Structure 1
Amino acid sequence: MNQSVPSPFTEQAVPQWKRAVLKVGSSLLAADGGGLSPRHALGLAQFVSANVLAGREVVIVSSGAVAAGRAIVPRALEAGAAMAARQALAALGQAQLIGLWQRFFERPVAQVLLTHDDLRNRRRYLNARATLNELLRLGALPVVNENDTVSVDELKLGDNDNLAATVAALIDADVLFIATDIDGLYSADPRRDPQARPIHDVPELTVEVLAMAGGAGSGAGTGGMHTKLEAAAKAGRVGIETCLFNGRSAEVVRALSQGRLFGTRIHAAQTRVAARKYWLRHAPLEPGAILVDSGAADALRGKGASLLPGGVVGAEGDFRRGDMIEIRQRTEAGEVCLARGVSQYSASDIRRVAGRHSRDIESVLGYNYGGNVIHRDDLVLL
């Protein structure tokens, strides 16, 4: 029997999902006076465990390293050294942050540190995605954070809300959960305006909705409600819904484990599949192409298969791993463009493994990015 939850937000259903990103901010992990506290993290960890046991997959995006480091060296923040001090505190606090999460799980917790440069570089983006997917396959729990120890002002992601949205897109998540320190989105800041109304459901992130968000929230974090809506907009553009909820309320978090949301649900602009296919169709092409035989062409068209090296007969151009290129078939009438997709290998690598079995890739190249030249999720027929 569902229990009532003391919340100004009415109950609604959580979107159906198999894979999710859970973003946990510093305000939920920071202890009074510095360091980290398990007080709110425990309930969120129980939410993760319950869903993993139900066969779902979760990636945590967690802040808190700087707060943890501040407790170790409380005098580290000196005038004139803000960035260097933050980087040092992050380095000191990362072990404590991962240790906090590991204490709640019997499964291994994996630390993944990312920078803006990792995510704008297509090859690094693919490498990060492959790593996260493999960690999930192995049954580990990835905990992602910005790599503050090497980030600089112009390269910083700026806040982990937007990082969480990028990670959700990276792993093709179905939903982005953002645990915050208030109940959800209001028409105004409820801490300052007693007339603020709870906004339960956001079909579209309009200018008016964005205007409801204020600036930064707590002193422990870097992002307020505005960055959370920015993240929801970013996730929504690739078909991922966002749920905002109060991570400090044990009742709200328990209800979430039962598929009941007391918070704000922000709908995606379109379905995840449609958004992905649109991007694949319209992303800029690099010069060059992968040439395939008739068997591979039939498998792509008729079976929705991935492109394997055995069906490749050659490559044109000098493209790199991660580039968007065409897939062509040579016919008596000339080359026919069948599809376009993101290549897992460079043109020179593809020439070396063309016609080979997937199991031969590593023996030929000395490394292996997987058995597919282009995975079906990264490919669209034309």
Structure 2
Amino acid sequence: ARQAAAAVGQGQLMQAWDKVFLAHGMSTAQVLLTRDDLRARQRFLNARNTFAELLHWDVLPIVNENDTVSISELKFGDNDCLASLLINLAEADLFINLTSSSGVLAADPQKYPDAPVMDHIDDVATLDLGRLCGGKTLVGTGGMYSKLLAARRAAQLGVPTLILPGREPWVISRAFAAAGVCPAPEGHEPFTRGTWVRSGRQAITRRKFWLAYQSDPAGSVHVDDGAAKALLHKGSSLLPGGVCAVEGIFQRGGLVRVLHKGKSLGVGLSNYSAPELKKIMGLKRHEVAAILGDAHYPEVIHRDNLLLDAAV
């Protein structure tokens, strides 16, 4: 019933967008996506080319999840997640996220109602989002937790985020005016509220971004102290000998979390299925060959297919 209702509502929603932007002399286009569209590399590249052409025509893409066909396993979860993945698709330079609050508060508003708004965040990766935001919203439709998670993903691509109160009139233009980019709209002062989230100092490759966030991890691989040290400080790949436990059901090429003592180190693409990995975990290379034969990979996860500190 919800998917049928979405089919009815999508047309009405686009009529509203068309009407508003036509008043400003701008055409709009509807783009409906499922996570599978971004997971399949060829479809991802086709979508990127479509976005590039629309922007070349000065047509504004209005993007939404294709709720009429999307299944739970392939849902983005919320629009913040979808928006963060579009940064890579559209090769954006800035991520603006509008919210009902005045910006990012310095403490959980449920516990500290008078917490001030942070005007900037230097390193979003260092924030304890659970403590700061009171955890993720149960309905999975946004909230500051998911907005900061999206900002963290954007920062990994070297893209800054501007979180603004969307109910303020002309808020985007006024924010740009406060930064000296353009004059403020007539009758309005430059806007100084909101939170600026700085980008990462060293951007990851767009391919690594794509492989890390193309889908939710299907399982987990637990590693020992030596493997964790090699991954974090030596830029190594994950070898079978460093794996001490395997959780979940995944196939070869599946996306998995890499955990050390319960803490997530990152995500990567596994060269082995879960049953195969359970047979060879903790073993040395010659021992792996004795079990699987010569047709095996030296690495469980190659470093080129591993993203440390992934925002998942």
What is the TM-score of this pair, normalised by structure 2? 0.57
Q: 1:275 aligns with which of 204, 207, 215?
A: 204
Distance in 1 (CA, whole Å) between partners of 2:108 and 2:197 is 18
Counterpart pick for 2:87 among 154, 163, 168:
168
Deviation larger for 254-263 or 93-102: 254-263
In structure 1, the residue matched to 2:105 is 186
Q: Against the structure 1 CA distance between its residues 218 and 177, is the aligned structure 2 distance closer, same or farther, given a 3 Å change threshold?
A: farther
For 1:263-302, list aligned pairs within 5 A: 263-270=194-201, 274-276=203-205, 279=208
Q: 1:231-380 alignment to 2 at 5 Å?
A: 231-250=150-169, 252-260=171-179, 261-270=192-201, 274-276=203-205, 279=208
What residue in structure 2 maps to residue 328 of structure 1?
none
Q: Check the 8 A contact 2:125/2:152 in 1, yes or no.
A: no
1:201–1:266 CA contact under 8 A, matched in 2: yes
In structure 1, C-alpha distance between the alignment counterparts of 2:54 and 2:141, rounded to whole Å: 28
Q: Does 1:212 align with 2:132?
A: yes
Deviation for aligned residue 1:252: 3.5
Distance in 2, Cα, partners of 1:163 & 1:215: 19
**How many percent identity over aligned positions?**
43
CA distance in structure 2 between the aligned counterparts of 1:231 and 1:174, rounded to whole angstroms: 14
1:68 aligned partner: none
> Does structure 1 conserve the Cα–Cα contact (< 8 Å) formed by 2:103 and 2:164?
yes
2:20 aligned partner: 104
Tell me how far apart the structure 1 counterparts of residues 110 and 206 of structure 2 sit (CA, whole Å): 42
Structure 2 CA distance, aligned partners of 1:99 and 1:153? 27
User: Paired residue for 1:131?
Assistant: 50
Q: Which TM-score applies when normalising by structure 1? A: 0.47
C-alpha distance after superposition, 1:137-177 (max 9, x if no partner):
11211101111111111110000101101101111111100
SS in structure 1 of the partner of residue 147 of structure 2: helix
Residues 153 and 101 of structure 1: is their aligned pair in 2 closer, same or farther, counting only changes over 3 Å?
same
Distance 1:192 1:181 in 2: 18
1:161 counterpart SS class: helix
Change in 2 beyond 3 A, CA 1:107/1:253: closer
Q: Deviations for 1:23-43, whole angstroms, at most 9, x for unmatched residues?
A: xxxxxxxxxxxxxxxxxxxxx
Output the amino acid matched with 1:268. Answer: S
Q: Distance in 2 between matches of 1:270 and 1:123?
A: 30
The one-letter code of the counterpart of 2:152 is A
Partner SS for 1:92? helix
Look up the SS of the partner of 1:103 in the other structure: helix
Distance 1:218 1:154, change over 3 A: closer
Aligned residue for 1:94? 10
RMSD of aligned C-alpha atoms? 2.7
**How far did residue 253 of structure 1 move?**
3.8
The secondary structure found in structure 1 opposite 2:104 is coil
Measure how far apart 1:122 and its partner are: 0.6
Secondary structure of residue in 1 paired with 2:16: helix
State the Cα distance separating 1:194 from its structure 2 match. 2.6
> Residue 150 of structure 1: SS of its match in structure 2?
coil
Q: Which residue is equivalent to 2:284?
A: none
Letter aligned with residue 275 of structure 1:
I
Code of the aligned partner of 1:96: Q
